[in-house]
Amino acid sequence: MDLNPPPGENYANPRICFFHVLFKAGALAFYILSALFFDSFVIIFVVTVLLSALDFWVVKNVSGRILVGLRWWNEIDDNGESVWKFECLDQESLARMNKKDSWLFWWTLYLTAVVWIFFGIFSLIRFQADYLLVVGVCLTLSIANIVGFTKCRKDAKKQIQQFASQTIANRFSSTIQSAFSVV
């Protein structure tokens, strides 16, 4: 993953990028500023978790698919086992993905979790167990997307490698067959 956004390249999906960042920033900003405007912990908890849940849904179902070409979900099979499911675009489509969109997606995904961890440590230091609960829920949603998309990216790379090996093997096989059929 490149640390700097590609120079001179524009975002291919500026609206999706905006909403990708909006819910993350909204949940974090509301959590930070809510103590100034609300005395009720319940309101702070509900609104912050709602914004974080909206962020989770947007990242998992919209921005992940459009900005990086990945989608994941988890199912429980007939035996009660948890099964991860992954979708990714084909190799050509993945190669055409906008690097700036991808950069924004991955950095905001990780940075949000780091900020929630910071807030969790701050809540621990101040002995605020109730706010630690809010942070815990938001951090869990953030980490779920990180784990899901990281596994999905690894699965996509494995699929690309398998496709490349099969293509090379098929070409090698067809070359050998055509060489022997000429003789």
Would you say residue 7 has pLDDT above 70? no
Average pLDDT over residues 65-83: 81
Distances, alpha carbon 22 to alpha carbons 25, 62, 69, 84, 112, in Å: 5, 13, 20, 28, 12
* 150-166: pLDDT as tens digits: 887 776 556 545 544 55
Would you say residue 46 has pLDDT above 90? yes
Would you say residue 90 has pLDDT above 80? no
Between 99-125 and 129-182, two packed helices, what is the crossing angle to 10 degrees? 150
* 19-38: pLDDT as tens digits: 888 999 999 999 989 878 87
What is the CB neighbour count within 10 angstroms for residue 158? 11
Please give the mean pLDDT across all residues of the chain: 79
By the 8 A CB rule, do 85 and 72 touch? Answer: yes
Chain centroid to CA 146: 5
CB environment 58-86: b (16+ within 10 A), e (fewer): bbbeebbbbbbbbbbeeeeeeeeeeeeeb
